[in-house]
A and B are shown apart, each in its own frame.
Chain A
């Protein structure tokens, strides 16, 4: 790891001012992506501004129609929260299958979506549920937030504060984990919402997470596993790598979609 200077921010204002005076700084969430990347010298921030001590980024709350989760809440906390289990059980289940127990004890919701790894789990839930991302300066809808692989509409010094998920009638998530990394080879989040069915796919698309429109249409006519897995999925815009071809992934998307709808009930 290259040299870096560590700062622990006590508040949002403190964090942005520390970032403002840094040469080439980065925010530090749970460190589960950033620290491995720095160890491999693929990132070399001059300064790290740790968000772990900011109270505004903590907490889970629900008002009956919306579930709000702080950006600094860990995967383990989401998985174990009775509020999340009650409001959106599929989200708690998703969090309980991210990485391993040690990663879940540190990694955060904010860090995961800020990173927007094309194989990460949370982006599928955020997009399928039509969540709103609240930052220190504005609110961004999920559709406007994810901008392709590892890209988001966040500016360099912007901090995600919380994510608000409209509570769906029902929802399910299914992923086919890469046997070594446990990241999604394909993961599908399907939700039945007041705006109709919404389906988002992670792990498969060349541009990261995306909505599968044809599946949404099929599910609005018939909410069933067979309707979801019966949709033709084109391999054209899907990833091909040593783990699987785009045709293989296209088939995985169909199978995972069927399982997601089945899990939703």
Chain B
């Protein structure tokens, strides 16, 4: 077992993990933050996306020990109390989800892409950027619409 320390959603946390423990396992089972999902065994679906030191990564494809000392943000860390993050609000407003399984990963990917493109996103870019996120319900159309709406909203207020 190895002791790890990291900041998760602004809070210092620590834990004892086996070296083979995946970051997503530590987040879900160790920290009981079950908003981050696991949708595949092949690193392809993106349901597990979180931000590590400001970068969107698949937490099913990183060991918890690799994230020792980092700053992690999960879906639980986006809202400001009862106020939804603009991306969360846009998904709600635009019916960007059906069953909701892919949604945490979609929203974490969306927040990251809006930041990287400084809010200047068009439909083709959003679709290309969603390469690593799979949704079995929506057909993506309303997800793309939600991200576009959030990007427009966030660049307006910036």
Interface residues of A (CB under 8 A from B): 1-6, 28, 31-32, 35-36, 38-40, 48, 50, 52, 76, 99-103, 105-106, 180-182
Contact = CB atoms under 8 A, between A and B. Distances in A.
A102 B109 CA distance: 8
Given A3-B20, A6-B66, A106-B62, 14 more contacts: A2-B20, A3-B19, A6-B19, A31-B63, A32-B43, A40-B41, A99-B131, A100-B132, A101-B112, A101-B113, A101-B131, A102-B49, A103-B43, A105-B56
A31 B22 CA distance: 12
Contact of B63 (A6, A32, A182): A6
Interface string B53-69: 00111101111011000
Contacts, number: 73
Give chain B's interface residue range (CB within 8 Å of chain A).
20 to 34
* CB-based closest 6 A-B pairs: A100-B132, A100-B131, A6-B19, A105-B55, A1-B20, A6-B65
Interface string B24-65: 000000000000000001111010010000011110111101
B43 A36 contact: yes
B113 A35 contact: no
Contact of B19 (A4, A39, A100, A103): A4
B42 A36 contact: yes
B46 A100 contact: yes
B93 interface: no
B105 to A, nearest CB: 9
Contacts of B56: 101-102, 105
Contact of B58 (A40, A102, A180): A102
Contact of B61 (A35, A48, A180): A35
A31 B66 contact: yes
Given A4-B19, A31-B63, A101 B43 contact: no
Given A40-B41, A100-B46, A50 B66 contact: yes
A32 B132 CA distance: 13
B129 to A, nearest CB: 6
A79 to B, nearest CB: 11
A139 B108 CA distance: 41
B2 A103 contact: no
